[in-house]
Amino acid sequence: MEKICVAVRVRPPAPELSPENGSSLWKVEDNRISLHKSLDTPITTASYAFDHVFDESSTNASVYELLTKDIIHAAVEGFNGTAFAYGQTSSGKTFTMTGSETDPGIIRRSVRDVFERIHMISDREFLIRVSYMEIYNEEINDLLAVENQRLQIHEHLERGVFVAGLKEEIVSDAEQILKLIDSGEVNRHFGETNMNVHSSRSHTIFRMVIESRGKDNTSSDAIRVSVLNLVDLAGSERIAKTGAGGVRLQEGKYINKSLMILGNVINKLSDSAKLRAHIPYRDSKLTRILQPALGGNAKTCIICTIAPEEHHIEESKGTLQFASRAKRITNCAQVNEILTDAALLKRQKLEIEELRMKLQGSHAEVLEQEILKLSNQMLKYELECERLKTQLEEERRKQKEQENCIKEQQMKIENLNNLVTNSDFKRNQSEDFIISRKTPDGLCNINDISNVPGTPCFKSASRSFVVARSNNYSGLSDFSPMVYSLGGVADEDTWMKLNKGFVADLDQIQFTPAVKCQPTPLSIATTECPRENYIEVEDLKSQIELLTNDKDSLQVKFNEQVLLSNKLMQEMSELKQETLTMKEIPNRLSESVANCKDVYKDVIGTMKSLIADKESPTANLLLGSTEITTSLLSTLETQFSMIMDGQKTGSSIDHPFSDQWETLRESLKNTTRSLLSDAQAKDEFLNCHNKGQETAALEERKLKSELSIIKERYKELEKELFSDKQLLEASRESHEKLLKEVQFLKEERDSLDRKISQSTQRLRVIASDKENALKDLNVEVKRRKDMEEEIKHISIAFATRHKSFVSFHSEIKSKMQKLTTQNSKAP
């Protein structure tokens, strides 16, 4: 166990302010920093001691030498190491970590030093990997590969916490790394604020993974893996001072929030181990990544930077209080070795060799054999034990995760309940109401309140926890607020309060509920299984619930489709009605053609009666045209009747009207033409021969008027036929359209039918799935029980075997001692 190394560095005053701030109010003496009044009298309450305090004249070289060098060297030896800079904006964090051309910062110096150190170690070979990431607005971005954005943190049994998808470059010399850092630096988020024209808006983590193993065969094959994190945090800021707005304000909120959680973690860790409850590493990505560095397996140093200007005194005090608390944290660093099977065997072999050496000269070959056998057995047991432990750990981890999840949900429900209860409480101001629900230990018993929803376990604890927390928080305004109060605003005062060290209520401020279960011996694992089973059963229940929901939604869809189908049916019947109406059109047309035929017959009859000479060419022509027209009109009639028949039978009909219509027109024209020419000839004949005859003239006028009537009638007939033709065309088109529509509707109906049958099928599958899930659930419960039994048996068997082995071992040991004393006594 060792304490975290904490140092403070005071930045030189900003050049433009230096004349008026000639003497700083912060005085540095040895490893102590204290605040003096302007008359140079120290303020006793503001004096702090640290491992190192660097004044304004210090260089990055001296900071590296005194603070970080040992950690870097230890990292090469196989210890995890972390160095980070903490402080307000513009206090010199980036200057300390990155440095300048003339005075490189800790990162560059570390990189060079690592390689220098490696070159000095001749008996080991090294593999170095580097990565560079930033946490910007609570999202992890890869600075070495810009495409890797919003990376996720994962936890692995062997690797621990790691960032998935982060690019790791294998490097062979310092220059290569420095180039990578330069390229990553370009991708970093910077922004201008009132306090720093080049303010870091994200936390950056430069990480080196140093792996090494012995070169020669005589040494152990164990591989050492250490992780070195060099972190430049974004600065805490007071929004009023930075003048932030828009994007900067948003960034500021995230920065303040994550730094506040870091402060919380530090506060928790600085409590004595007994008081230490749950450490909320998981509340921010920064603390999650830095988890090993804070109270874990790592050597850690923190450099807290402060600005000397008078108007920054409050922030500087906050930083020094943070540093004081960090100083109390203890870590437990150890060399990280990965033992391969070969290395393990080699170790065992060495131990056996040592035993053999001890036995040399005793000629106790039988004993030697026995020892060998026992060693092998021991190895086997150890491996078995290791395997079981891993399995157990894995199970426990899963269980913990599930428990956390349940607890989170529980907490949410409890919070809501609490809100309701609190508002009731305030409204009624009734003490009795609360007392009536208190159990003997003074905590509210949730089981008494029958109408509060929730999962049965953990209830009373969570409720008391939430109630206590919320009461304390509302009652004590000076205490640190909860983190989610930062959700909407970047509350600078909150930050200040935290830095001032109001830590007394921290047991109440838990963002992630504490995991109460302690590591348990192997035999206890069996008692944990039922809870695991319970969780698994819960899980399966929720799966069934999901399936039921799925089924319900399918049912809803099915109903919708039935409705749609009904609508389509209705539309189809409407269309059928329309089709019937359309079908009547040919009928009507046929009627009008019959009318035309009658009228035509009348006209022709009249015309015939007017012609005296039945053998004259006019009479012949009239007869010819009558025949043609009658036949055409009959054809039209037949066609219409055919259409009507076709409609009845449903067969398709050819439409030869156009051709026949043309022939009809042509014949009628010819007939008219010949009739006209006849009339003219008749005129001439009458002019020449019967000029004086009054009757003839009368006859002629009569004939003429009759002729004009015929002409008009003909024109009318032509018009009527033409409109009939158009009507026929339109009806044909709409008929075709209707046919298509009916076809389309049929297809749609068919597809709906198919969909409905599919849905029914799916419903059946879901139902059978549900049944299967239930069966699986039963099988799983049984399997769990069997496994519990098995583990119980194995533990018992292992314990007995281990016991017998230990007793046997001690027996052999005593025999060996006896033999040794006999040997030494022998001359």
Q: Which residues of this protein are in contact with ligand ADP, per CB under 6 A?
A: 11-12, 87, 89-95, 196, 198-200, 235, 305
Q: Which does 191 bind (CB under 5 to 8 A by kind): ligand ADP, Mg ion, none?
A: none
CB nearer to ligand ADP: give 89 or 331. Answer: 89
Provide Rg for the chain, Cα atoms.
Answer: 50
Window 546 to 605, contacts with Mg ion (CB under 5 A): none
CB nearer to ligand ADP: give 113 or 232. Answer: 232
Structure tokens at 506: 């921290």
Window 209 to 268, contacts with Mg ion (CB under 5 A): none
CB nearer to ligand ADP: give 271 or 310. Answer: 310
* Piece of the chain touching Mg ion by CB under 5 A; list 198-206, 299-307, 404-412, 637-645: 198-206
Q: Is 99 annotated as a binding residue?
A: no
CB nearer to ligand ADP: give 89 or 131. Answer: 89
752 residue type, one letter = L
The least distance separating Mg ion from the CB of residue 186, rounded to whole angstroms, comes to 16
CB 17 within 8 A of CB 312: no
Q: Is 520 annotated as a binding residue?
A: no
Q: Which does 91 bind (CB under 5 to 8 A by kind): ligand ADP, Mg ion, none?
A: ligand ADP
Structure tokens at 334: 């150890």
Q: For residue 609, give the 3-state DSSP assignment.
A: helix
The least distance separating ligand ADP from the CB of residue 84, rounded to whole angstroms, comes to 12
CB nearer to ligand ADP: give 257 or 299. Answer: 257
Q: Which does 115 bind (CB under 5 to 8 A by kind): Mg ion, ligand ADP, none?
A: none
The least distance separating ligand ADP from the CB of residue 342, rounded to whole angstroms, comes to 47
Q: Which does 92 bind (CB under 5 to 8 A by kind): Mg ion, ligand ADP, none?
A: ligand ADP
Cα–Cα nearest to 711, from 784, 801, 561, 607: 607
Q: For residue 699, give the 3-state DSSP assignment.
A: helix
The least distance separating Mg ion from the CB of residue 307, rounded to whole angstroms, comes to 12
Q: Which does 280 bind (CB under 5 to 8 A by kind): ligand ADP, Mg ion, none?
A: none
Longest CA–CA separation in the chain, Å? 190
Question: How far lies 504's CA from each of 235, 479, 500, 549, in Å?
Answer: 25, 8, 12, 47
The least distance separating ligand ADP from the CB of residue 105, rounded to whole angstroms, comes to 9
- Does 200 sit near Mg ion (CB under 5 A)? yes
DSSP3 helix / strand / coil % (the chain, rounded to 5): 60, 15, 25
End-to-end CA distance of the chain: 50
Window 93 to 132, contacts with Mg ion (CB under 5 A): 93-94
CB nearer to ligand ADP: give 12 or 214. Answer: 12
Q: Which does 12 bind (CB under 5 to 8 A by kind): Mg ion, ligand ADP, none?
A: ligand ADP
CB nearer to ligand ADP: give 286 or 585. Answer: 286
Gap between the Cα atoms of 460 and 458, Å rounded: 6
Which residue's CB comes closest to ligand ADP? 92
Q: Which does 224 bind (CB under 5 to 8 A by kind): ligand ADP, Mg ion, none?
A: none
The least distance separating Mg ion from the CB of residue 90, rounded to whole angstroms, comes to 8
Q: Is 770 annotated as a binding residue?
A: no
Q: For residue 229, give the 3-state DSSP assignment.
A: strand
Q: For residue 308, give the 3-state DSSP assignment.
A: coil
Window 57 to 96, contacts with Mg ion (CB under 5 A): 93-94
Which H or E element spans position 647?
Answer: helix 617-649
Inter-residue long-range contacts of 479-483, CB under 8 Å, 24+ positions, other chains counted: 479/504, 479/505, 480/264, 480/505, 480/506, 480/509, 482/509, 482/511, 483/257, 483/260, 483/261, 483/264, 483/283, 483/509, 483/511
Q: For residue 222, give the 3-state DSSP assignment.
A: coil
Q: Which does 270 bind (CB under 5 to 8 A by kind): Mg ion, ligand ADP, none?
A: none
Q: Is 300 annotated as a binding residue?
A: no
Q: For residue 211, give the 3-state DSSP assignment.
A: strand
The least distance separating ligand ADP from the CB of residue 239, rounded to whole angstroms, comes to 15
Q: Strands 81-87, 223-232: parallel, antiparallel or unpaired by DSSP?
A: parallel
Q: Is 89 annotated as a binding residue?
A: yes
Gap between the Cα atoms of 155 and 393, Å rounded: 13
DSSP state of 99: B
Q: For residue 480, give the 3-state DSSP assignment.
A: coil
The least distance separating ligand ADP from the CB of residue 95, rounded to whole angstroms, comes to 3
Q: Which does 196 bind (CB under 5 to 8 A by kind): Mg ion, ligand ADP, none?
A: ligand ADP
The least distance separating ligand ADP from the CB of residue 770, rounded to whole angstroms, comes to 59
Structure tokens at 499: 């830095």
CB nearer to ligand ADP: give 94 or 291. Answer: 94
The least distance separating Mg ion from the CB of residue 105, rounded to whole angstroms, comes to 11
- Count of other CB atoms within 10 angstroms of residue 210: 26
The least distance separating Mg ion from the CB of residue 200, rounded to whole angstroms, comes to 3
The least distance separating ligand ADP from the CB of residue 263, rounded to whole angstroms, comes to 17
Q: Which does 95 bind (CB under 5 to 8 A by kind): ligand ADP, Mg ion, none?
A: ligand ADP
Q: Which does 11 bind (CB under 5 to 8 A by kind): ligand ADP, Mg ion, none?
A: ligand ADP
Q: Is 93 annotated as a binding residue?
A: yes
Q: For residue 226, give the 3-state DSSP assignment.
A: strand
Give the up-direction half-sphere exposure of residue 28: CA atoms within 13 A in the CB hemisphere: 20
Q: Which does 258 bind (CB under 5 to 8 A by kind): Mg ion, ligand ADP, none?
A: none
Q: Is 92 annotated as a binding residue?
A: yes
Q: What are phi and psi of 95, to 5 degrees?
A: -60, -40
The least distance separating ligand ADP from the CB of residue 234, rounded to whole angstroms, comes to 8
Give the up-direction half-sphere exposure of residue 368: CA atoms within 13 A in the CB hemisphere: 14
Give the up-direction half-sphere exposure of residue 433: CA atoms within 13 A in the CB hemisphere: 11
Q: Is 245 annotated as a binding residue?
A: no
The least distance separating ligand ADP from the CB of residue 33, rounded to whole angstroms, comes to 15
Q: What are phi and psi of 331, to 5 degrees?
A: -110, 165
Q: For residue 224, give the 3-state DSSP assignment.
A: strand
Can you spell out the DSSP letters for 398-438? HHHHHHHHHHHHHHHHHHHHHHHHHHHHHHH--HHHHHTTB
CB nearer to ligand ADP: give 84 or 458. Answer: 84
CB nearer to Mg ion: give 189 or 459. Answer: 189
Displacement of CA 14 from its chain's centroid (Å):
45
Q: Which does 264 bind (CB under 5 to 8 A by kind): ligand ADP, Mg ion, none?
A: none
Give the up-direction half-sphere exposure of residue 313: CA atoms within 13 A in the CB hemisphere: 14
CB nearer to Mg ion: give 196 or 297. Answer: 196
Handedness of CA 190, 193, 195, 201 (dihedral sign): negative
Gap between the Cα atoms of 306 and 324, Å rounded: 14
Q: What are phi and psi of 374, to 5 degrees?
A: -65, -40
CB nearer to Mg ion: give 308 or 586. Answer: 308
Gap between the Cα atoms of 611 and 620, Å rounded: 10
CB nearer to ligand ADP: give 109 or 299. Answer: 109
CB nearer to ligand ADP: give 249 or 594. Answer: 249
Q: Which does 132 bind (CB under 5 to 8 A by kind): Mg ion, ligand ADP, none?
A: none
Q: What are phi and psi of 190, to 5 degrees?
A: -120, 165
Gap between the Cα atoms of 295 and 265, Å rounded: 9
Gap between the Cα atoms of 648 and 667, Å rounded: 33
Binding site for Mg ion (CB under 5 A): 93-94, 200
Known binding-site residues equal 87-94
Annotated binding site for ATP: 87-94
